[in-house]
Amino acid sequence: MTHPGSPQVRLVNEIALQFAHQPPDTAAEAIAGHLRKFWDPRMRADLMHRAEVEAEELAPLALAAVRLLR
């Protein structure tokens, strides 16, 4: 799972848990919106990079949200 060196992965997975009760498409859109609104561009860039190199570390909803950021 997440390693201590990946705070963005840990955070986005925690955010994804908060939206798990919603339909997946709605949840992914809401998570992506949260990331756009509240995360610094450098944090988003790091998260997008980590999604490419360690996608297995992201919760499915988190990964879906990151894909919407592109």
| Residue-range domain boundaries for the chain | 21-69
Spans of the chain below 70 pLDDT:
1-5
Cα angle: 27, vertex 8, 21; to 5 degrees: 20
Indicate yes or no: pTM above 0.85: yes
Say which residues have a Cβ less than 8 Å from residue 30's Cβ, sequence separation at least 6: 19, 22
